[in-house]
Amino acid sequence: MIFSNILIYFVIVPLLTLGGLALCSNKGVKAVRAVAVTGASVLVMLAIYLVAYFLQARAAGDTSEMLLQSKVTWYAPLNIELALGIDGVSVVMILLSAFIVFAGVFASWKMDPLPKQFFLWFFLLSTGVFGFFISIDLFTMFMFYEVALIPMYLLIGVWGSGDKNYSAMKLTLMLMGGSALLMLGIIGIYFHSSPEGQPLTMNILEIAQNNAIPHEWQYYLFPLTFVGFGILGAMFPFHTWSPDGHASAPTAVSMLHAGVLMKLGGYGCFRIAIYLMPFAATEIGWIFLTLTGISIVYGAFSACVQTDLKYINAYSSVSHCGMVLFAILMFNQTAMTGAVLQMLSHGLMTALFFALIGMIYGRTHTRDIREMGGLMQIMPYLGVGYVIAGLASLGLPGLSGFAAEMTIFFGSFEHTDTFRRVLTIVATTSIVITAVYILRVVGKLLFGAVQNEHHKELTDAVWFERLSTVTLILGVAAIGCFPNFFAEIIRYSFDPVVEALKAVGM
Amino acid sequence: MPLSYTILVIAIPLLMFLFLGLAGVKMGKKLTGVLGVCAMGVTTVIAYAVALTYFFGTGDGQIVDGVRQQLVLNDWTWLKFSENLVVKLGVLLDPISAMMLIVITTVSFMVHLYSLGYMSDHHGKPEKGFQRYYAFLALFTFSMLGLVVSTNIFQMFIFFEMVGVSSYLLIGFYYTSPAAVHASKKAFIVTRLADLFFLIGIMVLSFYTSTFDFKALMANPTNALASAQGATFMGCSVMAWALTCIFIGGAGKSAMYPLHIWLPDAMEGPTPVSALIHAATMVVAGVYLIARMFPLYVLEQGAMDIICVVGAFTAFYAAAIACVQSDIKRALAFSTISQIAFMMTSLAVSTADGALIEIHEGYGLGYMASMFHLFTHAMFKALLFLCAGAIIHAVHSNENSDMHGLHKFMPITSIAFLIGCLAIAGIPPFAGFWSKDEILVACYAKGMGWGLWMSMVAGLTAFYMFRIYFLIFFWKKHEIHTEHAPADQPWTMTLPLIILAAISIVAGFVPAGELVTWDGAHLHTQLNWSVAGASVLIALVGIGLAFKLYYKENELPEKMKNALPNLWEAAYRRFYMDELYQFITHKVIFQNISKPIAWFDRHIIDGTMNLLGDVTNSASYAIRRLQSGSIQGYVFVYLVGALLIAAVTMICVMI
């Protein structure tokens, strides 16, 4: 019975929250908040329990690739199943998502107008995210992926700011373009999922086991799936939805989008593109490696000259997420572990950034750093939060970014060929460029004299804002201080992928 | 005291930082200050106890065959990269780390105490960020202590970053002042650039040796170097590249030319911070790094030569600039750069081929001298900076034109400053004499040219220090600009001066040769009278010249300036290095790289996407008439099509 599997509750809880929200009256803001907080808290608790369960199961010697597997067929003609299962990577991604949903609820505490509808879409999006991470069936994954994408259009289009219609349209269309490629890829994989004469399957583990996708087909399917997910992962040159999209999105949506949704891209790249098509990955991975290498430096340099806080962060995300895909394409355990650490780190840190930007914007009504200054004197709490987020972003030891980036660099440097070495060195230069743009924005925004006299009357963070930011800061510090705890959960999940890559001569 | 208590020395400042950082806002100034000073006092006592136990104890395994051992006291796994490469955090005790514990805690304690008075007000107004200040001081002390006890090179890198950030926070302490913000940013970015090379160096080194651990690396340096198996890059062995990269990392923190540009600007921070971070402790991190990896460097002569040249050049370059600076803190900053360069050079003149054996047994003289000078310099330079702080606090200005003739008003400060100057100038029996003498001996052993060059710089040192001294305390009668006459500062500020002055007098008698050697064995040193005599003579000439020029107001300095206006201007503007950096960062990187990339992104990449959308749009617009919904139109098209097909069929049939 599938309901005895705890994983399914990661989908059921958001759906129940949806139901609860639907029952609230349009005017009852308090009830809406209560339901949203309850839903988010339950998710956090479930996620923590899941981590504990995972650690315990692994400690007890359960070495199966995916834990907590169960499946229900829901469309027999195409062998589509609701197949669940998790490994270390999914566990930490679920944990990350739960924390960001939790923080996001508090960050949108005063959401106006239509709070009820906002949270409805917000939780629908969360449903998709969790569903994606717990599925191991290609089609189910794809379905949840779409569930996560579509609400974005409305969330930005209705609750956004600035040129929101354009941004929402652009973001949705570009990501839909990615989905189209992905759909093609998945269909292709499905029809080659099993050797001749055996029933086809959508189950990722079975496809990997069969290893039946012909090499010449992998040349087509790998780019389709990798680019499909890569668009969501903001890979150069398919990243342009990100700056506009983030700039227009409301705070909590930016948080969830940069914090979790962009991670679906990296996760999908490794779980589907590389794992299922290792041959093509080793043969033509270098093309994408070059693109991600460009992403890292390109995003960082672009961020240096932006004046809108959200644009700075969007470009910074291009750089940091580029690092994720870059590390995944390095095909070794260390670098890939670093990639997941970077996803966690970037998720929390960027969510923190967007939360703070939202809070600052809510007060000053501008995101242009040229119009602000000296905010540290006026809102020290938000200022300190911003500095911490900045330091995490530029890689201060003790905060999350450092551990993740170092793991990536040292993992990438394990390769001895000049091409990868040079790319690694190029990627490392981002630590300097990141420092440049982070310190630039911190210096202009928080330090110096107060630019606008009206800003002097502004107030510092209130309780729900503090709760939201503290949650994220604690997460950032936890990863930064005890990275090995997370790395050990993640590391061995890459054994099957690395094995598969080795088998084709990586 | 058991050596395992060393961990407390590091833990207390960390806890203090967390406590003051989180609860400081709620606490009063007095409580914060007293708590900070007390915690640092306890830390200092433990550090002394541990260091003395290490140096003079004979506990289990401390000394084997007369050689002091490196002891790894703790080593926790922080992050596993792979099976071989494991980052650990731990405590390593050996002669130099024990010595550094003493240096850091002493200066830090003095600065904590001194800051009670100095930071109570800012140019007459009550200081707002007092709690924040003490929290940052504790953070810095923790980071610096963590750095010196590193058991592996990655831990060193971690704490390099940590001290970099603490330094950033403290330079930018007065964050409402744009100059401070700019200086802190510059300091962080320049040292970050250096750290990038450090990181690359570590990556290369650890790739070939499969370890980060200092003990494993130094146990057999020849093997460690051979592990690259002759791999080369652009004609040099990869190990030479790795070590040079690591040196660049150290050069960034230690302000070696051309990465020194951040240090003079860092003087925007509060003066006690300059004393602690930018004179005594953090800036020697680079020297310490090279010293820590000395057995590797000494076998890689190529890297050593680079260090030697950079060090010798920087020593002169900075001393020359120090001669013309009018801002007292900036002059001291250049003096610091020059002195650190002395230490660097001293390390680098050591050679592995035994050329020095004739003068001293073993080739570790330069190493010993460097570490010895690090110790004495920390004391007298902290003294000088704290004196400068007292003066600045009294006259509310950094310019020596606002000082002049302060001797009568601030006698204690004046004498303390004089002791500092005598120590740095190398006049016996003050501390600097002994350590600088060893450095010069080591340099002469490398070659006459090196020795003469460094002696000349030593003379210059005496000159510029006494120039500052005379300009501040004499020159002419003091004109009182402020509301009340300048005077010696309260006891919290004077006491540290007296203590550090006392240390500066006696520190030279520490038997460094017996305690701080590269291999832990005794190094027998004796005064080399010819070198010592010559260097004292040169120093006296420098002092005499300064006396002649600056003791009493006269025309000579102005005449000299007018005689060589271009040279003077160039030195005053620090030989235009800052302008060069400004040009590179603003004009080249910002205008010619970042801006075009951002433009490219918005107009080409994004433009392509928009174009796709627009093309789709206009294409739909163009063909939308086909779906007009009017039946006549459809019937017409249908008929035309049918007729056409019929016609084509007919023609085909007929043919």
Q: What is the 3-state secondary structure (H, E, C) of B417-457?
A: HHHHHHHHHCCCCCHHHHHHHHHHHHHHHHCHHHHHHHHHH
Is the predicted pLDDT of residue A344 greater than 50, yes or no?
A: yes
B chain contacts of residue A391, beta-carbon cutoff 8 Å: 165
- Per the CB < 8 A criterion, the answer to whether A232 and A264 are in contact is yes
The alpha carbon of residue B610 is apart from the nearest alpha carbon of chain A, in Å, by 8
The alpha carbon of residue B598 is apart from the nearest alpha carbon of chain A, in Å, by 5
Instruction: Please judge whether B162 and A398 are an interchain contact, meaning their C-beta atoms are less than 8 angstroms apart.
Output: yes
DSSP B126-191: EPS-HHHHHHHHHHHHHHHHHHHT-SBHHHHHHHHHHHHHHHHHHHTTSTTSHHHHHHHHHHHHHH
The residue that leads in pLDDT, A325 or B548, is A325
Asked if residue B73 belongs to a domain, the reply is: no
Range in A352-356, B102-106, B233-237 with the lowest mean pLDDT: B233-237
- Token pair, residue A348, equals 């929390």
**How much is the pLDDT for B363?**
64
Helix (H) or strand (E) holding B577: helix B577-582
- Token pair, residue A349, equals 């840190």
- Token pair, residue B129, equals 């960020």
Is the predicted pLDDT of residue B623 greater than 90, yes or no?
A: no
- Token pair, residue A400, equals 């999350």
Range in A298-312, B206-220, B584-598 with the lowest mean pLDDT: B584-598
**Closest by alpha carbon to A412, among A348, A337, A312?**
A337
The whole model's pTM is what?
Answer: 0.91
Is the predicted pLDDT of residue A36 greater than 70, yes or no?
A: yes
Task: Please indicate if any CB of chain A lies within 8 Å of the CB of B162.
Answer: yes
Q: What is the mean pLDDT of residues A458-473?
A: 86
Q: What is the mean pLDDT of residues B388-397?
A: 85
Asked if residue B600 belongs to a domain, the reply is: yes
Nearest residue on chain A to B614, alpha-carbon basis: A170
**How much is the pLDDT for A467?**
87
**Closest by alpha carbon to B145, among B159, B128, B129, B166?**
B159
Following CA atoms B482, B483, B489, B491 in sequence, which dihedral angle do they give, to the nearest 10 degrees?
-160
Whether this model's ipTM surpasses 0.90 comes out as yes
Is the predicted pLDDT of residue B642 greater than 80, yes or no?
A: yes
Is the predicted pLDDT of residue B236 greater than 80, yes or no?
A: no
Residues contacting residue A1 through CB under 8 Å, at least 6 positions apart? none
**How much is the pLDDT for A206?**
87
Is the predicted pLDDT of residue A229 greater than 60, yes or no?
A: yes
Is the predicted pLDDT of residue A464 greater than 50, yes or no?
A: yes
Nearest residue on chain A to B591, alpha-carbon basis: A305
Is the predicted pLDDT of residue B358 greater than 60, yes or no?
A: no
Averaged pLDDT of chain A: 88
Which of A171, A175, A294, A302 to mutate to test binding with chain B, by most B CBs within 10 Å of its CB?
Answer: A302
- Token pair, residue B115, equals 């800051």
**How much is the pLDDT for B357?**
35
Number of domain units in chain B: 1
Asked if residue B634 belongs to a domain, the reply is: yes
% of chain A at pLDDT higher than 70:
100
Instruction: Please judge whether A409 and B203 are an interchain contact, meaning their C-beta atoms are less than 8 angstroms apart.
Output: yes
| DSSP letter (8 states) at residue A395 | T
Span A58-74, pLDDT tens digits: 888 888 888 888 888 88
Q: What is the mean pLDDT of residues B384-388?
A: 91
Q: How far is the C-alpha of B278 from the C-alpha of B274, rounded, in Å?
A: 5
**How much is the pLDDT for B169?**
92
Q: Out of A237, A448, A483, name the one closest to residue B605 (CB).
A: A237
Q: How far is the C-alpha of B335 from the C-alpha of B400, rounded, in Å?
A: 16
Domain limits for position B624: 579-654
Q: What is the mean pLDDT of residues B610-636?
A: 82
Instruction: Please judge whether A410 and B77 are an interchain contact, meaning their C-beta atoms are less than 8 angstroms apart.
Output: no
The residue that leads in pLDDT, B394 or B339, is B339
Helix (H) or strand (E) holding B385: helix B365-395
Span A121-149, pLDDT tens digits: 889 999 999 999 999 999 999 999 999 88
How many helices (DSSP H) and strands (DSSP E) are in chain A?
23, 2
Which of A336, A386, A447 to mutate to test binding with chain B, by most B CBs within 10 Å of its CB?
Answer: A447
% of chain B at pLDDT higher than 70:
96
**How much is the pLDDT for A184?**
93
Q: What is the mean pLDDT of residues A250-272?
A: 88
Q: Which segments of B262-300 does DSSP mark as H helices, in order?
A: 262-265, 271-275, 285-292, 294-299
Would you call B230 helix, strand, or coil by DSSP? Answer: coil
Is the predicted pLDDT of residue B589 greater than 90, yes or no?
A: no
- Per the CB < 8 A criterion, the answer to whether B195 and B254 are in contact is no
- Cα A344 vs. chain centroid, distance in angstroms? 8
How many C-beta atoms surround the C-beta of residue B653 within 10 A? 7
Q: What is the mean pLDDT of residues B598-622?
A: 84
**How much is the pLDDT for B535?**
85
CA atoms within 13 A on the CB side of B165: 22
Query: What's the distance, Cα to Cα, between the start and end of chain B in Å?
Result: 115
Is the predicted pLDDT of residue B354 greater than 70, yes or no?
A: no
- Token pair, residue A258, equals 């940069």
Q: What is the mean pLDDT of residues A480-493?
A: 90
Q: What is the mean pLDDT of residues B531-545?
A: 87
Range in A231-245, B49-63, B338-352 with the lowest mean pLDDT: B49-63
Instruction: Please judge whether A431 and B593 are an interchain contact, meaning their C-beta atoms are less than 8 angstroms apart.
Output: no
Q: How far is the C-alpha of B389 from the C-alpha of B497, rounded, in Å?
A: 11
- Name beta bridge partners: B80: B86
Place of tokens 């006696």: B506
Instruction: Please judge whether B207 and A425 are an interchain contact, meaning their C-beta atoms are less than 8 angstroms apart.
Output: no
Q: How far is the C-alpha of A464 from the C-alpha of A359, rounded, in Å?
A: 11
C-alpha distances out from residue B365 to A425, B166, B301, B369, Å: 37, 33, 17, 6
C-alpha distances out from residue A116 to A19, A36, A173, B423, Å: 11, 9, 26, 74
CA atoms within 13 A on the CB side of B343: 31
Is the predicted pLDDT of residue A439 greater than 60, yes or no?
A: yes
Q: What is the mean pLDDT of residues A440-469?
A: 84
Asked if residue B29 belongs to a domain, the reply is: no
Instruction: Please judge whether A447 and B181 are an interchain contact, meaning their C-beta atoms are less than 8 angstroms apart.
Output: yes
- Token pair, residue B524, equals 């027998």
Is the predicted pLDDT of residue A314 greater than 80, yes or no?
A: yes
**How much is the pLDDT for B442?**
85
**Closest by alpha carbon to A32, among A109, A138, A90?**
A109
Following CA atoms B205, B210, B212, B213 in sequence, which dihedral angle do they give, to the nearest 10 degrees?
-120
Instruction: Please judge whether A429 and B196 are an interchain contact, meaning their C-beta atoms are less than 8 angstroms apart.
Output: yes
Q: What is the mean pLDDT of residues A214-238?
A: 89
- Per the CB < 8 A criterion, the answer to whether A341 and A404 are in contact is yes
- Name beta bridge partners: B64: B67
Instruction: Please judge whether B594 and A425 are an interchain contact, meaning their C-beta atoms are less than 8 angstroms apart.
Output: no
Would you call B553 helix, strand, or coil by DSSP? Answer: coil
Asked if residue B647 belongs to a domain, the reply is: yes
Window 369-388 of B: residues touching A by CB (8 A cutoff) are none
Sign of CA dihedral B96, B102, B108, B111: negative
- Token pair, residue A123, equals 């939780």
A chain contacts of residue B175, beta-carbon cutoff 8 Å: 376, 446-448
- Per the CB < 8 A criterion, the answer to whether A106 and A467 are in contact is yes
- Token pair, residue B175, equals 């964050």
Model confidence at A338, pLDDT cuts 50, 70, 90, reads very high
Would you call A308 helix, strand, or coil by DSSP? Answer: strand
**How much is the pLDDT for B355?**
42
Helix (H) or strand (E) holding A360: helix A333-364
Task: Please indicate if any CB of chain A lies within 8 Å of the CB of B76.
Answer: no
Task: Please indicate if any CB of chain A lies within 8 Å of the CB of B181.
Answer: yes
**How much is the pLDDT for A352?**
92
Following CA atoms A226, A232, A233, A236 in sequence, which dihedral angle do they give, to the nearest 10 degrees?
80
Q: Out of A173, A428, A440, name the one closest to residue B199 (CB).
A: A428
- The burial of B10, by beta-carbon neighbours within 10 Å (0-12 exposed, 13-18 middle, 19 or more buried), is given as buried
Is the predicted pLDDT of residue B495 greater than 80, yes or no?
A: yes
**Closest by alpha carbon to B347, among B307, B375, B318?**
B307
B chain contacts of residue A409, beta-carbon cutoff 8 Å: 199, 203
Q: What is the mean pLDDT of residues B179-191?
A: 89
